[in-house]
């Protein structure tokens, strides 16, 4: 969904857009499952724009422990600067040094990209369906949140194998 900048005449313009989840392609990390609502104010300074506002939606993620899908609400405030694409080579306007700066082309700002970025920023590094998620059994793969497996974990640290042989040798010792 593009915001046409040629229609913006005032120094401050309210922005209120709702985008259906179907307009966003499913991503590797998340999928939008509720309409994305972007509300804010667009500030104009000649060919430079500043968009401040809030994005609210709901995304579906895969739990990093049990791999089950779960929904997470997204509600994030933002403040972004948009500069014309012609300034992209300018050292003073380097987006690498300022992550809140982007460039626009064809007199339009892609609001869907703004929503996508806010969703990425809201996703935790390790998404969990619940804080106490048990995950999957490392032997049989059963989801430990829903079932109990009969596997007996017998992992021993291979770095301690030498000490284990010493300990078993001392069982015959009377010391």
Quote the pLDDT of residue 103: 85
Arithmetic mean of pLDDT, 90-102: 67
Share of the chain above pLDDT 70, in %: 89
For 108-151, write each residue's pLDDT tens digit.
999 999 999 999 999 999 999 999 999 998 888 899 999 988 88
Beta strands (DSSP E) in 20-165 are: 31-32, 36-45, 48-62, 69-84, 101-104, 108-110
For 18-34, write each residue's pLDDT tens digit.
999 998 887 778 999 99
With 0-12 CB in 10 A as exposed, 13-18 as middle and 19+ as buried, what is 166? exposed
Quote the pLDDT of residue 41: 95
Quote the pLDDT of residue 26: 79
Scan for tokens 């005032």, then name that residue: 10
Of 48-62, 98-112, 148-162, the range with the highest mean pLDDT is 48-62
Four-CA torsion 95, 97, 101, 106, nearest 10 degrees:
-10
């Amino acid at each position: 969904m593009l915001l046409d900048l040629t229609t913006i005449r005032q120094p401050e313009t309210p922005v209120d857009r709702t985008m259906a989840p179907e307009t966003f392609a499913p991503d590797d990390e998340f999928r939008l499952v509720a309409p994305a609502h972007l509300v804010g104010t667009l500030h104009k300074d000649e060919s430079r724009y500043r968009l401040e506002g809030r994005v609210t939606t709901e995304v579906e993620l895969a739990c990093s422990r049990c791999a089950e899908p779960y929904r997470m609400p997204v509600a994030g405030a933002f403040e972004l600067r948009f500069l014309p694409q012609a300034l992209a080579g300018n050292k003073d306007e380097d987006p690498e040094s300022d992550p809140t700066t982007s460039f626009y082309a064809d007199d339009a700002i892609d609001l869907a990209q703004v929503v996508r970025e806010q969703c990425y920023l809201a996703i935790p590094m390790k998404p969990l369906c619940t804080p106490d998620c048990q995950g999957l059994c490392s032997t049989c793969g059963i989801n430990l949140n829903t079932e109990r497996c009969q596997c007996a974990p017998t992992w021993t640290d291979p770095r301690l194998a030498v000490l284990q042989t010493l300990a078993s040798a001392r069982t015959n010792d009377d010391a």
